[in-house]
Homo-oligomer: A and B are copies of this chain.
Amino acid sequence: MNKRFKDDIIQLSHGDGGLKTGQLINGLLLKYLGNDILSRLTDSAVIDIAGNRELAFTTDSFVVNPIFFPGGDIGKLSICGTVNDLATCGAVPAAVSLSFILEEGLKVSHLEKILSSIKNTLDEIGIPVVTGDTKVVERGSADQVFINTAGIGFIDDRYTIEPSRIKEGDVIIINGPIADHGLAILSQREGFDFQVDIISDCAPLSGLVSQIKCVSRNIHALRDATRGGLATVLCEMAAAASVDIDIYEEKIPVRVQTRGMCEFLGMDPLYIANEGKMVVFSGKDDAEAVLKAMKKNIYGKESAIIGEVSSGKNGSVFLNTGIGTKRIVDIHYSEQLPRIC
């Protein structure tokens, strides 16, 4: 993985969560900063703190364009993204930091709308912002508003949820239809001139994760399918755990209008970002109970089993299509859509 990074100039594709992002992280960032915790490349770092407690710690910067979109805005996104990263290791979110980079000239009414959205999302989750920062840069030096959130959470039950626990036979479950977030963003971009009715799935999933932990001690791994979409995160999980994965095209939930828009645009929903979708690797025996618990959650009503971990050890992901063929799912080389989060 640690091949030398060969590009001379940063390109948009270095930030899209795909192949070139991986090259940047493995070839350059980890070359300087790699250590036992960071090099795992999990969504949250997990650190022993005292007694039975572990601390989860994560960060994300949000540069979504436009800042307001159907189903959310950069504020809601900045809280959901970080809370969902904490949830992927089974941590109960405790608090977030909030740091703004504002462009001179930003309308205060826009900032206020974002703050209101942040507050509503925090209230839903039940956590506070405990520390923050605000910078302002000259007009033209940033695009309206960028937000960074970092999150801390606690794991008190010595319940390890990480890719290394994935094993043959594990059942892969997702909590609903994919690709809505990326398409909702795209539909708001300038120059996009037809009406669609697609709403971002942006949602906090810490409650859903708590609920499935209650019904099973065999949740092996979790991952929120953001940049790069379901395909990319499955490839990363398969590689991290050195397992092969089979998924079934007909079982993967995609809304009719989303599928239609993807076909029209020539885009593959498997690679389109979500902001409220958790991929669950459950031990086989508990899969039905986990699915049932997920369906009870407001953000899991359309949960579905979409595949399983097979006996291969090559880190490959196979898509079994509706017409009975099987094709390899790879990480894409370049972005379909920049700045979706």
Residues of A in contact with B (beta carbons under 8 Å apart): 5, 7-16, 21, 24-25, 28-29, 31-33, 35, 37-38, 44-45, 47, 49-51, 53, 55, 57-63, 65, 94-95, 97-109, 111-112, 115-116, 118-119, 122, 128-138, 140-143, 146, 148, 150, 152, 154, 338-339, 341
Contact = CB atoms under 8 A, between A and B. Distances in A.
A95 B60 contact: no
Given A10-B102, A45-B95, 14 more contacts: A5-B108, A9-B107, A10-B108, A33-B119, A33-B129, A37-B130, A38-B128, A38-B131, A45-B130, A49-B154, A57-B130, A65-B137, A135-B339, A146-B146
B12 A136 contact: yes
Given A29-B134, A141-B143, A57 B11 contact: no
Nearest to A62: B135
A97 to B, nearest CB: 4
A108 B312 CA distance: 38
Contact of A136 (B14, B50, B53): B14
10 contacts: A9-B106, A11-B136, A33-B129, A37-B131, A38-B130, A44-B131, A49-B50, A59-B99, A63-B141, A135-B339
Contacts of A31: 115
A35 B104 contact: no
Contacts of A33: 98, 115, 118-119, 122, 128-129, 132
A324 to B, nearest CB: 39
B47 A99 contact: no
Nearest to A103: B10
A140 B12 CA distance: 12
Nearest to A151: B150
Contacts of A133: 59-61
Copies of this chain, complex-wide, total: 2
Contacts of A103: 10
B116 A32 contact: yes
B134 A21 contact: yes
Given A35-B130, A136-B15, A8 B107 contact: yes
B131 A63 contact: no
Contacts of A111: 10, 28
Closest 4 CB pairs of A and B: A15-B136, A150-B150, A45-B130, A59-B97
Nearest to A128: B35
Nearest to A46: B130
A339 B103 CA distance: 12
B47 A104 contact: no
A106 B10 contact: yes
Given A60-B99, A97-B58, A32 B128 contact: no
B35 A136 contact: no
B104 A12 contact: yes
A8 B109 CA distance: 7
Contacts of A10: 102-108, 111, 136
A24 B152 CA distance: 26
B132 A137 contact: no
| A108, A118, A131, A146 interface centre (most CB from chain B within 10 Å) | A131
Contacts of A37: 95, 128, 130-131
B130 A47 contact: yes
| A25, A132, A143 interface centre (most CB from chain B within 10 Å) | A132
